[in-house]
Chain A
Amino acid sequence: MKKLVIKDLYVSIEGKEILKGLNLQINPGEIHAIMGPNGNGKSTLLQAIMGHPKYEITGGSIYYGEDNILEMEVNERSIAGIFLAMQYPNEISGVTNSDFLKAAINARNEEPIGLFEFIRNIDKAIDKLKMKDDLAHRYVNDGFSGGEKKRNEILQMMMLKPTLAMLDEIDSGLDVDALKYVSETINELFKENQMSLLIVSHYERFFSLIQPTHAHIIIDGKIVMQGDYSLCKKIDEEGYDWLYKELEIKPVKQEEVLTYSLGSCAISKRG
């Protein structure tokens, strides 16, 4: 079993520094919750670990076991056992879930998966997550509702059996029942595969179902407070204001989105 060790990590997007010296260690069998206000670097952390090309690592290191993952391609990180359930999963029209998953499973195994074993596994996952029976033949996330896309991410996680799973706001867009199925599945996978989890969410409700062993608050690109599940509860009940006061820090201002006009069309101005 491998541990994830992040030291003094600096990450920028298009020249703007988002993570500013972040340190984190996740040991095998631990569940880490990440909370924090919007725009403070939670998703950036997960994308940087996975290797999104838009996120530039300007300092620090990330090791997974003996592997310096910053030197690895995205697919190599996946094969090493890292999985990211994305906040906004892509739609890939024309590629069925079945073909996609078979290719992904075969990419990490020496022998291609047998057809019957694949069907048995995907049927079990579909049943567990209460998804539609025709999922295997549908195109990847094409025409899926927001909740279906999130469940499909967990289904992929079930099929690929990672050793470190990162979930980026996987609970947003899920109804009450779906949240229950998803959290039950995550808990089962956690026990069966003895994996580690790194979970970003805004809601204590989800964490109450998963019961993280560690909790971290990210503000302005740094972990400013750590604790256990009780920290998630406190944030849910009291928000972040007490934290700003206690640590004497200021909230990060959200950048205003500027809108530009391309000019007026042929409609004349009315007086």
Chain B
Amino acid sequence: MKIINEIYDTSQDVYLKIDNDSELNLFFKDASFNLILEYDGENDYEVVENISVLNANVNIIYLAYSFNNLKHQSNIFALKGSSVKVNGSFFVKNNKKIILNCVNKEKNSHVDIDVSTVISIDGKLKMEVIGKIEKNASKSSSHQKSRCLTIGNIKQAEVNPLLLIEENDVEASHALALGTIDKEQLYYLKSRGLSYMQSISLLCRSYLIPNLESISDNQFKERIIEKIMKKVLND
């Protein structure tokens, strides 16, 4: 089964493009880099990932903006001495069901989740963002932020932020914002000559692009931004 059709590797960024049903098992130790996982297949698909991080700083960037149905479960295990940042940029056109399950399994492990989603016309999103600190994972932290922007008549937007804390002496927080386009921002952009559609595409960009900031290779980052904006504009 072909699960990865492209690998792009620089000293600081590892890029995996995933376009079939797959199960990924990844283990990282003693490292510091960005792991970019892109879901842009031509068919509907279902993905399960298990990512374990030990004594490493890993910034996981999820990019999903295909027009197909996606069922995606990611289990991220933060082990001793690890720091895991989870950034997600999702553009939802059809039906996307996403579970981000981030578990602090051992002492002194840190998880920071920041997810931005744009749900377009007829889109349906069901997302669970789970931060769990297990027993024995003291001196750990789990923080999460989810933002969800809806455009036009969507079918469903359901985002559940969950914190499951089993240990004392830890830090945890969650935040969720879900709403439609800010009319004042739209007016501001239009007052500078941008049409409704041009304004919407810029506002979508403002949701989806900041999560890519940590990508160190600018050329590669621009390529990804161009791809995302093409999808948004073709919608």
Contact = CB atoms under 8 A, between A and B. Distances in A.
Interface of A: 50-53, 73-75, 77-79, 83-84, 86, 89-90, 92-95, 99-100, 103-104, 107-108, 139, 156, 160
Interface residues of B, number: 24
A100 B202 contact: yes
A75 B197 CA distance: 11
A89 B189 CA distance: 11
A165 to B, nearest CB: 12
Given A89-B188, A92-B188, A107 B210 contact: no
Contacts of B207: 94
B183 interface: yes
A104 B194 contact: yes
Given A73-B190, A74-B190, A75-B190, A92 B195 contact: no
Contacts of A99: 202, 205
19 contacts: A52-B187, A53-B183, A74-B187, A75-B190, A75-B195, A84-B191, A90-B184, A90-B185, A92-B202, A92-B206, A94-B205, A94-B206, A94-B208, A95-B202, A95-B205, A99-B202, A100-B189, A104-B192, A139-B206
Contact of B210 (A83, A89, A93): A93
Interface string B198-211: 11001101111110
A156 B206 contact: no
A208 to B, nearest CB: 28
Interface in B101-142: none
A95 B206 CA distance: 5
Contacts of B193: 75, 78-79, 104, 107-108, 160
Interface in B199-233: 199, 202-203, 205-210
Contacts of A52: 187
Contact of B192 (A93, A94, A139, A156): A156
Nearest to B192: A104
B192 A86 contact: no
Nearest to A156: B192
Contacts of B203: 92, 95
Contact of B188 (A90, A93, A139): A90
Given A53-B187, A92-B185, 5 more contacts: A51-B191, A73-B190, A90-B184, A92-B188, A94-B209
Contacts of B190: 73-75, 78
A73 B198 CA distance: 14
The CB with the most chain A CB atoms within 10 A, among B184, B188, B192, is that of: B192
Most A-side CB within 10 Å, residue of B191, B202, B205: B191
A107 B198 CA distance: 9
B207 to A, nearest CB: 6
B27 to A, nearest CB: 33
A107 B187 CA distance: 15
Nearest to A100: B202
Contact of A103 (B187, B196, B202): B202
**Chain A CB within 10 Å — which of B182, B190, B203 has the most?**
B190
Contacts of B198: 103, 107
Contacts of A93: 206, 210
Contact of A107 (B184, B188, B194): B194
Contacts of B205: 94-95, 99
Contacts of A94: 205-210
Given A90-B184, A90-B188, A94-B207, A75 B202 contact: no
Closest 8 CB pairs of A and B: A94-B206, A78-B193, A90-B188, A74-B190, A107-B193, A104-B192, A75-B190, A95-B206
A77 B183 CA distance: 18
A77 B182 CA distance: 21
A264 to B, nearest CB: 27
B110 to A, nearest CB: 24
A142 to B, nearest CB: 9
B148 to A, nearest CB: 14
B192 A100 contact: yes
